[in-house]
Chains A and B, each alone.
Chain A
């Protein structure tokens, strides 16, 4: 009996060892032959001289769009083409002039083709996003001057504390707010920053250089300082490390208006980051603001406004974005955010907007002007909004990124939705597709647009 047990035990051990060895061999067999042979192609040379070069790429976007037949509030000018193509050369780089002196440049040159667009004067456009010099006179103390894209904010869909976002948009394929932030004009400013153990302080001053340009007043090769530097502005931002909250406090002053801001974030477990962002200050509502701007630049006549806000009082108004991101083991990241823009349009404002806009062409022109102004400010038009975004890396196959986002107006349930797919064909080539839809009834925020949707095909070659 004992002998049989011993034989069984030995056999079991041998089987286990054999299986383990076989398993290990199969692990090793998966190692590519060229690696086993030490052939390692494309292995780096000594990277001590590695060029930390900038980012240069050529991009082409072909977009096709569909329009609605009738609109609740007709557009007074409908020059938009159902197709468009844009080819852009994009460059971001940095050069070191001396040990503590660098020059930074970010530029995008685009040539567009579509129905009714003259070539080349109206078709070519250059956006000098950044051009500034940075000096580090003492360790981790920086003084900078030039056009700088200064942005703040922890949320993805709406950043109340991103005080320099107004009038900075540059046309691009994706409508994703987080992508749009990546491609915008900086502001001419002086900036100082000090970084110490566990914190930093930033002070920026942007002077007024020009009177503000009217909406859609940018020309092809203009530097557009009349968009980004049409008011004196000062920003102070303080970051400190407190436990794991990474709070940031901000004060921004512009044209007699002072706003305060706050950002905070915290991890929850292994997969979730919760975050919140707030800004507040005394300001008029969006309708009053838009009409005052339209009059000041001479776009709107003096007998305006016909559209009046439901709450015309000038008072302290809050902007708020709060949400969380969750990442799964399958490399899927989901963001869910709630946005509150107190200066935005309430339900009553929306009813007024549609009623006034339907009265005639002049009224339609005025109410659409309000929408255009708010869009130019990169603010939500509505008071309550939901933002959902999902992104899957290496979805189904390696190097395929699938995702989508939606901005949902909580006042009327309408939504802007976009799905996208990006595939890195190689280290240098990426192709992508964006499919967008404006969903909702005729008397809703997103359903009132002339477009019902669009498809964009994109190809990019990196250098």
Chain B
């Protein structure tokens, strides 16, 4: 009898070992893998074009050039954002280097220090435009696995992550994030304020090979507060770039040349 019980237990254990993956990814590992999908591992620049739709109709276009560089020790990205269009904003710059954030207006020659909250200004804010490692700024837990529709109405089998801000650089208080199994591509995100209010819903799609990996070519941001607003954020002209650390300070803002 004892032998039979032992055999049964052994069989159950064997079966369990068979169906378990060799190594179950933790939520943080999934998030880290999705970061690697979104962000090139080298300093780079890209052009970001934001088209704002009001009531389904295109209303405005903003063109930005973004320079990003990752600190290999802290894994924190520093970003320089330069406005190209519209003409009224041409030449304006934003520096985001941890909590050292400045806005520069070439008309007034003024560098104004901005708070983390001001990253959220605008429907697609500076916080959305810049490159960041979410796994550095958020702690995540696995909320489950979901089959969800992507923008192209294709069903994607996703990890569903529930993320909480873990550093002052975190832009949103809480994020729900869907990452496709196998590819580690972000498919969808829901972004919440400190008070728990849903602010934005983002869909990532149009993946293509850029700077050594599959990167999202377009993010669609649905405003959860204003039901009329949708913004598309298109990344183009990805290029590796030599970006020294010295660029990420306020006195360099007037000096950046966009070629």
Question: What residues make up the interface of A, taking CB atoms closer than 8 Å to B?
Answer: 20, 24-25, 27-28, 30-36, 40-44, 46-48, 50-57, 92, 96, 102, 139-140, 142, 149-151, 154, 156, 178-179, 181-183, 193, 195-200, 202, 239, 241, 244, 246, 265, 267, 270-273, 275, 325-329, 331, 333, 393-394, 398-399, 424, 426-428, 430, 460, 462-463
Could you say which residues of chain B place their CB within 8 Å of the CB of A33?
56
Does B117 reach chain A (CB closer than 8 Å)? yes
Give 10 A-B contacts (CB < 8 Å), ordered by A residue. A28-B153, A30-B230, A50-B84, A151-B109, A195-B249, A241-B100, A267-B115, A272-B115, A331-B121, A462-B86
A430 lies within 8 A of B88 (CB): yes
A154 lies within 8 A of B88 (CB): no
CA distance A116 to B153 in the complex (A): 69
CB distance from B28 to the nearest CB of A (A): 23
CB distance from A396 to the nearest CB of B (A): 11
Interface stretch, picked from B9-17, B35-43, B130-138, B231-239, is: B231-239
- With beta carbons under 8 angstroms apart, the residue of A30, A196, A273, A399 that contacts B246 is A196
Chain B, residue nearest A96 (CB): B257
CB distance from A195 to the nearest CB of B (A): 6
Does B141 reach chain A (CB closer than 8 Å)? no
Could you say which residues of chain A place their CB within 8 Å of the CB of B258?
50, 52
Could you say which residues of chain B place their CB within 8 Å of the CB of A156?
112
A246 lies within 8 A of B65 (CB): no
A327 lies within 8 A of B117 (CB): yes
- With beta carbons under 8 angstroms apart, the residue of A55, A195, A199, A328 that contacts B117 is A328
- With beta carbons under 8 angstroms apart, the residue of B61, B153, B226, B255 that contacts A140 is B255
B245 lies within 8 A of A182 (CB): no
B251 lies within 8 A of A193 (CB): yes
B108 lies within 8 A of A182 (CB): yes
CB distance from B136 to the nearest CB of A (A): 17
- With beta carbons under 8 angstroms apart, the residue of B47, B57, B109, B118 that contacts A50 is B47
The residues in B between 102 and 117 inclusive whose CB is less than 8 angstroms from any CB of A are 105-110, 112-117
CB distance from A87 to the nearest CB of B (A): 18
The residues in B between 190 and 218 inclusive whose CB is less than 8 angstroms from any CB of A are 193-195, 201, 203
A149 lies within 8 A of B151 (CB): no
A200 lies within 8 A of B251 (CB): yes
- With beta carbons under 8 angstroms apart, the residue of B85, B86, B114, B250 that contacts A246 is B250
Question: What residues make up the interface of B, taking CB atoms closer than 8 Å to A?
Answer: 47, 49, 51-54, 56-61, 63, 65, 82, 84-88, 90-91, 98-100, 105-110, 112-118, 120-123, 146, 148-149, 151, 153, 168, 193-195, 201, 203, 220, 222, 226-227, 229-230, 232, 234, 236-237, 239, 244-246, 249-252, 255, 257-258
Could you say which residues of chain B place their CB within 8 Å of the CB of A40?
51, 232, 234
Q: Answer whether A53 and B246 are a contact pair too, CB < 8 Å, given A96-B257, A427-B85.
A: no
B249 lies within 8 A of A199 (CB): yes
B113 lies within 8 A of A275 (CB): yes
Could you say which residues of chain A place their CB within 8 Å of the CB of B82?
52
CA distance A192 to B9 in the complex (A): 79
Chain A, residue nearest B226 (CB): A398
CB distance from B232 to the nearest CB of A (A): 6
A42 lies within 8 A of B255 (CB): no
Could you say which residues of chain A place their CB within 8 Å of the CB of B251?
193, 195, 200, 202, 239
Could you say which residues of chain B place their CB within 8 Å of the CB of A42?
51, 58, 61
CB distance from B174 to the nearest CB of A (A): 14
CA distance A271 to B194 in the complex (A): 12
A32 lies within 8 A of B53 (CB): yes
B87 lies within 8 A of A463 (CB): yes
Q: Nearest 5 A-B pairs (CB), nearest first?
A: A182-B108, A47-B47, A200-B251, A427-B86, A462-B87
Could you say which residues of chain B place their CB within 8 Å of the CB of A331?
120-121
CA distance A44 to B51 in the complex (A): 10
CB distance from A112 to the nearest CB of B (A): 21
Q: Answer whether A46 and B237 are a contact pair too, CB < 8 Å, given A35-B53, A273-B114, A398-B54.
A: yes
- With beta carbons under 8 angstroms apart, the residue of A30, A47, A92 that contacts B237 is A47
Q: Answer whether A271 and B117 are a contact pair too, CB < 8 Å, given A44-B49, A239-B249.
A: yes
CA distance A24 to B153 in the complex (A): 11
CA distance A398 to B62 in the complex (A): 14
Chain A, residue nearest B58 (CB): A41
A43 lies within 8 A of B65 (CB): no
Could you say which residues of chain A place their CB within 8 Å of the CB of B151?
28, 31, 36
Given known contacts A40-B51, A41-B51, A329-B120, what 14 new A-B pairs fall within 8 Å (CB)? Answer: A25-B149, A31-B203, A40-B234, A47-B237, A48-B237, A50-B65, A54-B91, A55-B87, A198-B245, A199-B249, A270-B116, A275-B113, A427-B60, A427-B87
Could you say which residues of chain A place their CB within 8 Å of the CB of B222?
27, 30-31
CB distance from B145 to the nearest CB of A (A): 13
Chain A, residue nearest B64 (CB): A47
Could you say which residues of chain A place their CB within 8 Å of the CB of B114?
273, 327
Could you say which residues of chain A place their CB within 8 Å of the CB of B61?
42, 427
CA distance A156 to B111 in the complex (A): 11
CA distance A399 to B98 in the complex (A): 28
CA distance A31 to B149 in the complex (A): 13
- With beta carbons under 8 angstroms apart, the residue of B56, B108, B146, B148 that contacts A178 is B108
CA distance A57 to B87 in the complex (A): 9
Could you say which residues of chain A place their CB within 8 Å of the CB of B49?
43-44, 47
CB distance from B71 to the nearest CB of A (A): 12
Chain B, residue nearest A153 (CB): B110
B230 lies within 8 A of A32 (CB): yes
CB distance from A362 to the nearest CB of B (A): 40
B116 lies within 8 A of A47 (CB): no
- With beta carbons under 8 angstroms apart, the residue of B146, B168, B195, B249 that contacts A241 is B249
A246 lies within 8 A of B100 (CB): yes
CA distance A142 to B256 in the complex (A): 12
CB distance from B80 to the nearest CB of A (A): 13
Could you say which residues of chain B place their CB within 8 Å of the CB of A333?
118
Could you say which residues of chain A place their CB within 8 Å of the CB of B56?
32-34
